Amino acid sequence: MLNEVISRKVTDHELGETRKRILETAALVFSEHGFAATTVRMICGRAKVNLAAVNYHFGGKESLYREAIRHARRRAYERFPVNFGLSENAGPEEQLHAFIRSFLLRTSGDERNLGFGTLVMREMVDPTSALDMMLDEGILTLLEQLAGIVRELLGNAHDRELVLICTRSIVSQCLIFLFSRSVMDRLAPEHKFDPDDLEGISNQILLFSMKAIRGIAADLHKQPDCAGVH
Amino acid sequence: MLNEVISRKVTDHELGETRKRILETAALVFSEHGFAATTVRMICGRAKVNLAAVNYHFGGKESLYREAIRHARRRAYERFPVNFGLSENAGPEEQLHAFIRSFLLRTSGDERNLGFGTLVMREMVDPTSALDMMLDEGILTLLEQLAGIVRELLGNAHDRELVLICTRSIVSQCLIFLFSRSVMDRLAPEHKFDPDDLEGISNQILLFSMKAIRGIAADLHKQPDCAGVH
DNA sequence: TTGCAATTCAAACAAATGTTTGATACAAAC
DNA sequence: GTTTGTATCAAACATTTGTTTGAATTGCAA
């Protein structure tokens, strides 16, 4: 009765309504309190299911956690794919813009993302096997995609370290809206970080990054005048 | 016997050897596992003191947590003050470099910092009253200091938002070495992030940021040629 | 020494946690 | 109607948690 969790029948009443409700509630609660601090009772209480349902449907708290992360990620990527709203033959700068914007939207606190961004953040701070899962199933290819854009922006320079540095700096500017949300809320509580805000923020990150990359690329192609000020 | 914690005598044997050992061990253990996941038994076990010592000397786990954070912060700032190794009449670029370098060193994983960087990171992800304490007692003035440097680099422009954007981008590039340590360890386990590495990294952050700021400042002062590429 | 307060210690306590259990309800198949 | 497998439920279980307790020990002053 427990091993059946793996190969479930899909003829359940309403396609596993209870299971789905647990999954979505779990993603939100885990994102709010973290793995250790959320209790199975919290999840079942909010999902309005019996306490034993978690172990019946998922085999335990830890399995539920991993499934909830996958579920939230699927949902967030459905809403905001990697190149969200990007035309086919766009230039590298537009590609970068689309990358930044879709990243911010995908990891934003919008409840419809089921706390995906926060779950990633928490996993980075307190890594479990779920972090390796995430690296394998998305993060790595995402980073390589960004590195490709950066490489093109740098003029296809063969300096791998320079590409790495710029990639990292861009990623960091996106991630800070995940990690310092608490500080920002305290310093400027009026900010809501709705899609309009995120649009402006992605423009700011793009501006800062493009200026930096162009400055670096200029040095790279040896144009001593017009490159740096001093 | 418990309210005496506030007004302790300093004539304890060895100036409160037990108390100090608890404090330092607690900072490290809290930084390793976070507040919720560390148990008083872990701390007492590693500090080789009796279980009841925490409640006797600090009144409880939560009070110990706050004291441990203060202790770690004091230690880290003693080792790396804000303008660590900066000459008196240094220009803004040198000031920025010193700011970045001392920040990286102060929040690095060096055990002598007692896990200060990780404690800050965890507090940002799971805010408690200790985050407000940290904001009041250091973080805010630190941010203002950086904003001052950025303002000067931008040519004392009166655009407050632009200063904010650049400040935030610089901070984010420093913070990413706190937040994505786990990912970096998985992608490049050979990196040790010793002081030499951090020296190189601070140079990279400085390079990227200076190029960006100069590019932005150039636009600001209306030099249409020689400013941006397109 | 004697007295006294501070400290240390082993043991225990109440509360909360993840998990298990056995009974029950339900729906479809035979 | 009976059977069978799935799902739900209240109750209980074994651990672990932070904290408390009361006795023992220590260090120093009178």
Q: Closest protein residue to D8 using CA and C1' atoms?
A: A50
Average pLDDT, chain A: 89
Query: CATH no. for residue A39?
Result: 1.10.10.60
Distance between start and end Cα atoms, chain A: 73
Domain boundary among the residues B33, B49, B69 is at B69
User: CB B208 to CB A186 under 8 A?
Assistant: no
Cβ distance B212 to A216 less than 8 Å, yes or no, reads no
pLDDT digits (tens, 9 = 90+) for A138-174: 899 999 999 999 999 998 877 899 999 999 999 999 9
Whether B226 is covered by a domain: the verdict is: no
Domain extent for A64: 3-74
pTM confidence score: 0.88
pLDDT digits (tens, 9 = 90+) for A93-133: 999 999 999 999 999 999 999 999 999 999 999 999 999 99
User: B53 CA to chain A: closest CA distance, Å?
Assistant: 25
Pairwise CB contact (< 8 Å): A208 & B171:
no
**Which of A191, A172, A64, A57 lies closest to A128 in space, CA to CA?**
A64
Which residues in chain B touch residue A208, judged by CB atoms under 8 angstroms apart?
A: 165-166, 169, 212, 216
Are B211 and A207 an interchain contact pair (Cβ–Cβ within 8 Å)? Answer: no
Residues B186, A228: C-beta atoms closer than 8 Å: no
Residue with tokens 């979505």: A24
Cβ of residue A37 lies below 7 Å from strand C: no
Question: What pLDDT score does A222 carry?
Answer: 63
State mean pLDDT over A205-223.
89
Is B95 found in the same domain as B65? no
- The secondary structure of residue B159, as a DSSP letter, is -
Residue B49 forms part of a structural domain: yes
Whether A168 and A135 share a structural domain: yes
Q: Is residue A40 part of a domain?
A: yes
Q: Is the CB of A127 under 7 A from strand C?
A: no
Nucleic acid strand C within 7 Å of B4 CB: yes
Structure-model confidence comparison of residues A228 and A43, the more confident one: A43
The CATH number linked to B215 is 1.10.357.10
Residue in chain A lying closest to B118 (CA): A125
Q: How far apart are CA B172 and CA B186, in angstroms?
A: 21
- Are A84 and A167 found together in one domain? yes
Residue A83 pLDDT:
83
Searching chain A, which residue's CA lies closest to the CA of residue B122? A125
Per-residue pLDDT of chain B (230 residues; tens, 9 = 90+): 333 333 333 333 445 789 999 999 999 999 999 999 999 999 999 999 999 999 999 999 999 999 999 999 999 999 999 888 888 889 999 999 999 999 999 999 999 999 999 999 999 999 999 999 999 988 999 999 999 999 999 988 778 999 999 999 999 999 999 999 999 999 999 998 999 999 999 999 999 999 999 999 998 776 544 434 43
> How close B17 comes to chain A (CA, Å)?
31
pLDDT at B227: 39
Q: Enumerate the residues of chain B whose CB falls inside 8 A of the CB of residue A173.
A: 168-169, 172-173
How many domains are contained in chain A? 2
Whether A53 and A157 share a structural domain: no
